[in-house]
Amino acid sequence: GLTAKEQLDPFVLIKDEVSEVTDRLRSMVVAEVPELTSAAGYFFRAGAEGKRTCPTVLLLMASAISMGIADGLENKPRARHMHLAEITEMIHISSLIHDDVLDDADTRRGMDSLNFKVGKKFAVLAGDFLLFRAFSAAVSLDNTEVVSLLATAVNNLVTGELMQMSITPAQRCSMDYYLQKTYYKTAALISNSCKAIAVLAEQTTEVQALAYQYGRHLGIVTAPILFAMEEFPEVHEIVEQGFDDPLNVKTVCIASVFF
Ligand code: FPP
Ligand code: MG
Ligand code: MG
């Protein structure tokens, strides 16, 4: 039995199913070439899986919207929801692997990044492979709307990354630009996947839209520096100077706390 505290912990509630998802992920990344299998499975190894927030959120969403509906139904959607959790996690990991190549990052999740471990070329291919595997699994769900939602999410991830790379000084100070880029980079995958959960559960368009909004709000982070800029105009000047000077970092951090 669970203690009272554990019953309130979302990660504990869904723990067994998430570890089932993790096991399945390991078997889904098996490739013809052993080097590709180990590269693609790098972040699915025991101890390397991270917090698994995506599958946890999606399975909790699935529970919330299926309450009282799935009971007694012949065609229970839970297995399909678990597949969607696997697919979303694979897309998420592939985006992190490509991100670390683009950022030349040596670490991820407190360990070596995949590019650091196996080199850029292998890392790019492992990310591609995961993305392809994710979409193959999505096609097996036999629901074109779900495939389309996931395609939108990947399109948004790429767009968000490009918006970040090509930002102009004026765009850097724009709340609209920041929110759009942040939505694409950090919220589009979870919001579209939450909606896909509702679609798979054959929920109404109203519930689908609510699921989408839940994911959107969860994914978008706050914009402390932009709010600070609204409050303290002098922060604007510092942001334009950039953050090579550690004093600028310090000043903006303090301003963000007090905005
Ligand atoms: C992390 O940002 C990066 C993302 C959340 C998305 C990256 C998206 C791509 C590389 C586009 C390609 C997408 C796919 C699906 C292959 P960060 O660098 O700001 O943060 P972090 O490195 O500290 O996590
Ligand atoms: Mg990065
Ligand atoms: Mg990046």
pLDDT digits 0-9 by tens, 159-177 = 999 999 999 999 999 989 9
From 114, 112, 228, 220, select the one nearest 173 (Cα to Cα). 228
Q: Are 66 and 201 in contact (CB under 8 A)?
A: yes
Q: What pLDDT score was predicted for residue 46? A: 92
Q: What are phi and psi of 51, to 5 degrees?
A: -80, -15
- Summarised one tens digit per residue, pLDDT across range 113-171 is 999 999 999 999 999 999 999 999 999 999 999 999 999 999 999 999 999 999 999 99
186 in contact with ligand 1, CB cutoff 6 A: yes
Please state, in angstroms and rounded to a whole number, the distance separating the CA atoms of residues 77 and 73. Answer: 9
Model confidence, pTM? 0.85
Q: How many CB atoms lie within 10 A of CB 233?
A: 8
Residue 203 near ligand 1, beta carbon < 6 Å: no
Cβ of 162 below 6 Å from ligand 1: no
| 166 Cβ contact partners less than 8 Å away, ≥ 6 residues apart | none
CA–centroid distance, residue 225 to ligand 2 (Å): 19
Rounded CA separation 74/176 (Å)? 46
- Find the length of the chain: 259
How far apart are the C-alpha atoms of 125 and 123, rounded to whole Å?
5
